[in-house]
Amino acid sequence: MKKRTLLTFAQCVAIAAAMSCAGPAAPSTSPPTPQPPVPPLPAPVACSTPGVSCFGRNNYIEYIPGDLPIVISVPHGGALTPASIPDRTLGTTTTDLNTIDLGRAISAALTSRSARAPHLVIVHLRRTKLDANREIIEAAAGNADAIQAWNEYHAFIEQAMAAVQLRSGTGVYIDLHGHSHAKQRLELGYLLSASTLDGTNAQLDAPAVASASSLRLIARESPLLFSDLLRGPTSLGGFLQPDVASVPSPSIPTPGGDDYFSGGYSTSRHTATIPGLQIECNFSGVRDSANNRASFAGRFVQALALFAQTHLGLKL
pLDDT tens string 258-302: 999 999 999 999 999 999 999 999 999 999 999 999 999 999 999
- pLDDT for 154-191, tens place per residue? 999 999 999 999 999 999 999 999 999 999 999 999 99
Instruction: For Cα atoms 194, 95, 53, give the angle at the middle one, nearest 5 degrees.
Output: 105
Query: Rg of the chain over CA atoms, in angstroms?
Result: 18
Q: Which residues of 53-88 are buried (b: 16+ CB within 10 A; e: fewer)?
A: ebbbbbebbbbbbbbbbbbbbbbbbbeeeeeebeeb
Residue ranges per structural domain of the chain: 7-16+38-198+261-312
Q: Please name the amino acid found at residue 112.
A: S
Among 121, 38, 13, residue whose Cα is nearest residue 76: 121
Q: Which CA distances in Å does 50 have to 47, 54, 270? A: 9, 10, 21
Mean pLDDT of 249-255: 98
Tell me the pLDDT of the chain averaged across its residues.
90
State the Cα–Cα distance between residues 216 and 275, nearest whole angstrom: 7
φ, ψ of residue 238 to 5 degrees: the values are -65, -40
Q: Is the pLDDT of residue 112 over 90?
A: yes
Q: Is the pLDDT of residue 17 over 80?
A: no
φ, ψ of residue 236 to 5 degrees: the values are -60, -40
Q: Which CA distances in Å does 154 have to 44, 133, 148, 185? A: 10, 10, 10, 28
Tell me if 25 sits within 8 A of 40, measured CB to CB. no
Q: Please tell me the predicted confidence (pLDDT) of residue 33.
A: 52
- Helix (H), strand (E) at residue 62: strand 61-64
> What proportions of the chain, in percent to the nearest 5, are helix, strand and coil?
40, 10, 50
- Helix (H), strand (E) at residue 291: helix 290-312
- Helix (H), strand (E) at residue 290: helix 290-312
Q: Please tell me the predicted confidence (pLDDT) of residue 32.
A: 52
Q: Please tell me the predicted confidence (pLDDT) of residue 6.
A: 38
The string of DSSP letters for 104-146 reads HHHHHHHHHHHS---EEEEE-B-TTT--TTS-HHHHHTT-HHH
Class of domain 7-16+38-198+261-312: alpha beta
Q: Confidence band (pLDDT; 50, 70, 90) for 47?
A: confident
For residue 302, the Cα-to-chain-centroid distance in whole angstroms is 19
Q: Please tell me the predicted confidence (pLDDT) of residue 44.
A: 55
Q: Confidence band (pLDDT; 50, 70, 90) for 7?
A: very low
Q: Please tell me the predicted confidence (pLDDT) of residue 218.
A: 99
Q: Which strands sit side by side in the sheet containing 186-189, from one edge to the other?
A: 54-55, 61-64, 119-123, 70-74, 172-178, 276-281, 186-189, 246-247
DSSP secondary structure code for residue 75 in this structure: -
Q: Confidence band (pLDDT; 50, 70, 90) for 217?
A: very high
Q: Confidence band (pLDDT; 50, 70, 90) for 104?
A: very high
Q: Which CA distances in Å does 79 have to 123, 145, 220? A: 9, 16, 40
